[in-house]
Structures are given as structure tokens and as C-alpha cells.
Amino acid sequence: MTRILYDLTASEDRRFSPFCWRTKLALRHKGLDYEARPVRFTEIDDLSDGPRLTLPTLEEDGRRIVDSWTIAEHLEAAAPDAPTLFPGGQDLARFVQAWTNTTVHPTLIRVILMDVFRALDLQDQAYFRPNREERFGMTLEAFTAEHAGALKAFRQCLQPLRAMLADRPFISGDAPAYADFIAAGAFLWAGAVGRSDVVEDGDAVAAWLARVTAGIDN
Amino acid sequence: MTRILYDLTASEDRRFSPFCWRTKLALRHKGLDYEARPVRFTEIDDLSDGPRLTLPTLEEDGRRIVDSWTIAEHLEAAAPDAPTLFPGGQDLARFVQAWTNTTVHPTLIRVILMDVFRALDLQDQAYFRPNREERFGMTLEAFTAEHAGALKAFRQCLQPLRAMLADRPFISGDAPAYADFIAAGAFLWAGAVGRSDVVEDGDAVAAWLARVTAGIDN
């Protein structure tokens, strides 16, 4: 089977999408080969004649599956004999996803938005700035003006993760699984644009992240 | 079996402990009879000759089980034929507990602390004020000075719950279970001290809370 993951990239092949990271970690967990094909913001329209795709999109022998959660469910069903993505059922991953999407990401973007912007090439910057300034209702610079406060808020919002890791090495228990990949995606997003410093050394979150991401590159 | 739940109370028999609520909802879910015996802050010392107990403490024929999570695990094992507290495994409940304890409660206490204080009788107020002022490092009044901001932050911090409820009636899926009881305890805490207004009418959280707590009183 030919398996292509359309994977959002910045300049210099920096793969920064937290949602694409979820899928790449899931594919690796399942032991499935794939090509992570880099796509810039301004290349997404070229992927489809119809409605604009969202990334990640996984293409298997020409069949496209869109949305990281849908892809995870597909991979779980398609590779039932590989290690499960949901060792305790899907509900933990659903709640971690709800928390990551509505709390972790919105808090982190206040910290790293300018880093994301600077990582893009000029053509993507020209798309990204007005798109995000309309979404946030202010300039990128205004949105990220309170950097120290934003970083403090981000580290504070990780408390549920720290509490979870107090008596287990992974969110999912003794081994990492999709709930971990969802949360880890946020830090891989930051790391790809040069902000590995959003977590302090010595934080239990840093040690967990190192365990989850050991051995990965793009 | 004689089953007594030592249940924290304010004046006028207002049972406000969010942790005791978790246990009462769990006992009800399991269909187990119990007496919820009211205990004021300044009566806790009288419960034991040894180290001060924490509430909830469940006493079954004289055997005491301390800590809401430990009690939930005990009830699940003791009544395996009753509806499960963990329909999708324990991990969802563990993460919801981590989130509730580290995010929801600390955010909510900024809103309702003075209401909790005023609900106590004078003897408990005399214990509560210095105990909490030492914990927070400031007066109760200073801790709750930014009321409007605190209420906004609380409603904002519920976003993961709203996201979870977008495609299911309960955190646990089609029926409520212990993960729901953990989160509901926070709102029952607020309600017991007269702050049912912390959630707005029309919020999906309000409708969920009504479903989880239908038919309960103390």
C-alpha cells in the first residue's frame, strides 16, 4: 500500500502542525510505513479540486482520510493486531483531545505565534498574517505582547498533565498511546519553530515528552 | 451492612464538599444505601483518636475507607454487578480528576470562597479563615477581590467539558459515570453555598449538570 501523509511544513522542512504530529506518532505506534509529504500553507489548495483539505490528510492507495481523530480511528481499525492506540478505550483520548484543543493550544499560541510566523517562508507569511489577524481580531504583535504572562499561563495550564504523571509514566499508563500523542503534539509544534524552552528542565512534563518522542525526527 | 459517609457540612445542613459529592453520586449510581452523616470542619478531629481524617470517609460496619478515589475503587470492586463507575476504564476518570483538581477547583475557589466562608457557622469560620489565609498567603477578601475576572476565568476553564459534550450527553458517553461525578462535584460545591449562578443558563454545561444530578438532594 502507498501511504502518504500530507504534512504541514514551514521553511527549512520544519514540520510544525500539532495535528499532523498526532497522526505521525500514531502511524509510528502502529508500525506503518508512510511518506510524510511536506505541504506549505499556500500549497494546500493544490491538493484538491474540491473544498480545501485540512491537514493531516492521509492518502492510502489514493483514498483520502481527513482529520486526525478520524485517521486515528481508521488506523486502529485497519491495524488491529498492532499495538492499540486506545489501551483503556477511546474516552481518555477524547477528553485529552478536548483539553488540548481548547486549553493547551489556545494558551500556547499566545507564546509561540511569532515564532510560527517567522518560521514560514515569505509566501506563507503573506497568507498567515491576515488570516490569523482576522481570527484573533488584532495584529500578531498585539496578540503576543504579554510574552512572560503567556508563558507562565502555559506552564500553569499543564497542571492536569503533571497530576496525571504523578503516579504513571504516560497519560495512557505504562506505555504511550494516542492520548499521549495528542498532548505531545503541542510541544512538537513549539519545538519545530524553535521553542523547546516552553517547558522547563526538571518539569515532569519534559521527562514525559522525552519518553514519548524518543527516536523521532520529522 | 451499616454504611456511613462522613460528609462535610456548613450551617443549615448544607453539604458542600465537592469530594464528598463524588462519593455520594457514586454510592447512588451503585444503588447502595448509606447514611450521609454531617460533620463540620471543627468536628473532624472528634472522628478519630489518631491522625485527623479527611472527608469523605466511608465507614462500612466499622471499617473506614478514606479518600474519594480510593472509595470509588472500593465501591467498584464491592458491587461489581451494579452499574460500573468506569464504563470505559479508569483512565478517563483519572484524567478528569486531574483536570478538576488542578484547574476547575482552583479557578472556582476564586469565585466562591467568600460564599463558602459565609455558609459556615461561627465556630467553623474561626477555623476556616486562618487556615485558608495561610494556604493562599493573603486574606480571604484579597484572594477574591477580582470577582468578575474570576468568574470569567472559571467559565472559560470549562471549555474541555463543553468540547466533550459536543457529541455526547455525558463525559462518560451515553450514561453518566464516575468521570461525570468528579466534574459535577465542583458545581454542587458552588450550589450548596448559593452559587448556582456560576454556570449560565443555556450553557451546555448547565444542561449536562441537570442530567447528572437529576433527583438528588443532599
Is the pLDDT confidence value at B175 over 90? yes
The helices-and-strands tally (H runs, E runs) of chain B is 10, 4
What ipTM is given for this predicted complex? 0.94
User: What pLDDT, on the 0 to 100 scale, is given for residue A128?
Assistant: 98
Cα angle for residues A120, A97, B209 (degrees, 5° grid)? 135
The answer to whether the CB atoms of A159 and B90 lie below 8 A apart is no
Termini Cα distance of chain B: 21
The answer to whether the CB atoms of B98 and A161 lie below 8 A apart is yes
pLDDT tens digit string along A64-109? Answer: 999 999 999 999 999 999 999 999 899 999 999 999 999 999 999 9
pLDDT tens digit string along B9-60? Answer: 999 999 999 999 999 999 999 999 999 999 999 999 999 999 999 999 999 9
The chain B residue lying nearest A97, using CA atoms, is B160
Interface test with B, best of A99, A104, A157, A205 (most B CBs within 10 A): A99
Strands (E), A9-125: 35-39, 57-60, 63-66
pLDDT cut 70: percent of chain A above it: 99
User: What pLDDT, on the 0 to 100 scale, is given for residue A215?
Assistant: 78
Q: What is the pTM for the complete model shown?
A: 0.96
Q: Who contacts A107 (Cβ-Cβ below 8 Å, separation ≥6)?
A: A150, A153, A154, A157
pLDDT tens digit string along B133-162? Answer: 999 999 999 999 999 999 999 999 999 999
Which residues in chain B have their CB less than 8 angstroms from residue A94's CB?
92, 164
User: What pLDDT, on the 0 to 100 scale, is given for residue A46?
Assistant: 94
Which residues of chain A are modeled with pLDDT < 70? Answer: 218
Which residues in chain B have their CB less than 8 angstroms from residue A95's CB?
92, 95-96, 99, 160, 164, 171, 179
User: What pLDDT, on the 0 to 100 scale, is given for residue B218?
Assistant: 60
User: What pLDDT, on the 0 to 100 scale, is given for residue B212?
Assistant: 97
The answer to whether the CB atoms of B94 and A164 lie below 8 A apart is yes
Q: How far is B100 from chain A (nearest CA, A)?
A: 8
Which residues in chain B have their CB less than 8 angstroms from residue A89's CB?
88-89, 91-92
User: What pLDDT, on the 0 to 100 scale, is given for residue A117?
Assistant: 98
